[in-house]
A and B are shown apart, each in its own frame.
Chain A
Amino acid sequence: MRTVQSGASLHDATVVLDDRVILRAVNVVVGPGLTLVRGPNGSGKTTLLRALAGLVPLARGDRRLAGDVLYIGHRPMLLRGLSARENLEFFARFRGGDTRAIDGALRAWGVGEDMDRPVERLSAGERRRASLARVEAERVQVLLLDEPFADLDEAGAVRLRQTIARARDDGRSVVVATHAHPELDDLAKAWIALDDGDATAA
């Protein structure tokens, strides 16, 4: 894997899953700032983010990456049996970072009272908030957020927009895949339109 100046990129990348072409010769370069991935259901938004994160094999083409990636998918990706705090501590330690920012991040996301409860006892919205607190706790340069507004109430959505704006202002590369939330267009620097596996950059 070669290193590039921008956050992450795919070059001539084709992804085939279950004999179906999900992404077709896609060329995408994600740099600092917010990049929005738009497209209807089934157009390949999730697969594009997973390809950038290295979670799906490329049938053709290659992926280039500068620095670590934080990918948060449709589901919160927290291990049941552990608390929100323990999950976030695990992620931070695994990256070799410190854990001091975790309590503050969870409080800021409104999970402060419940940070020591096992995640299976939290509501879907609380688990989503705990998951998104990773953006502030792990300080990774490239953020890949797949439908991050799912399960969030209005206060959570406001908090997420603020978090995205702050990450953008810090010079981090933020990629958000969503088919809604037009208000994010004001924050975005680039757009990727997906249609049946074909990507068009704008």
Chain B
Amino acid sequence: MIALYRIALVAARELRAERRQPDGVVAAVTFIAVLVLLESLVVGPQIARDADVASALFWLALAFATILATMRSFDRELEDDALEGLVALPGGRDALFGGKVLALAMVLVLVATVGGILSLVLLDLPVALPVHLIVVVLLGVLALPPIVIVDVVLALRLRARAALVPILALPVLVPQLVAATRGTSAALSGDAVGALSWAGLLFAFSVVYTVIGLTIVPAAIE
């Protein structure tokens, strides 16, 4: 119970800092909006409105947005050694991962909502199964922070971490991105069974990545 309380404290601290310095959210939303606009300009509106193409671009943008937001979160922690202040607390090492995942998932739900609405409006996309779409996007978003946080922590003390984190993260994210793209495409085009199947796989990814993070991060942060 105390562990959950500490995770909630870390998440609340993270969200408060993000609200005061919303660099991560603003960068992520801007990134998605620019990408959607560029996509329709580059490939033309007909191809851009294809469910597979629009879904793939949305999830790629969200993956990069997650990397941006996570790196910004840890950059803030490294200033003035705030991260060390947290890790030095009893149970701080264990609460760090859970708190960051919780806070970043909430931030990404916001980013995905804004980015998703922008995509739907700018590309004038029809949504055949809105509830399925919400389920797929929520589960897809939940699967993103755990593995990105693991990669950021592993590269935390490296000077070239801005370049290394995407290189480390993207190969691991490929299965998750494929599932999220297929699930979103299925929800947009009215394939209920397909959307729910991919959603189930996304849930499994969230669980697996969270277990990996809970195992690795407390040791790696040392």
The residues of A with any CB-CB pair to B shorter than 8 Å are 53-57, 68-71, 73-82, 86, 90-91, 93-96, 118-120, 127
Contact = CB atoms under 8 A, between A and B. Distances in A.
Contacts of A56: 222
Contact of A118 (B2, B20, B87, B90): B20
A86 B13 CA distance: 8
Contacts of A95: 89-90
A118 B18 CA distance: 12
Interface of B is mostly: helix
Contacts, number: 72
A79 B222 CA distance: 19
Interface of B: 2, 6, 9, 13, 16-18, 20-21, 76-77, 79-82, 84-85, 87-92, 95, 222
B16 A86 contact: yes
A56 B87 CA distance: 11
Contacts of B92: 94
B130 to A, nearest CB: 35
Nearest to A75: B81
Contacts of B17: 79-82
Contact of B81 (A74, A91, A118): A74
Nearest to A124: B80
Given A56-B222, A86-B16, A90-B9, A80 B82 contact: yes
Q: Is the interface of A mostly helix, strand, loop or mixed?
A: loop
A146 to B, nearest CB: 10
Given A73-B84, A75-B81, A80 B9 contact: no
Nearest to B85: A77
Contact of B84 (A77, A81, A94, A120): A77
A78 B85 contact: yes
A132 B16 CA distance: 23
25 contacts: A56-B222, A57-B222, A71-B84, A75-B80, A76-B80, A76-B81, A77-B82, A77-B84, A77-B85, A77-B88, A78-B85, A79-B17, A79-B82, A80-B76, A80-B80, A81-B17, A81-B18, A81-B21, A82-B13, A82-B20, A90-B9, A94-B6, A96-B2, A118-B20, A119-B80
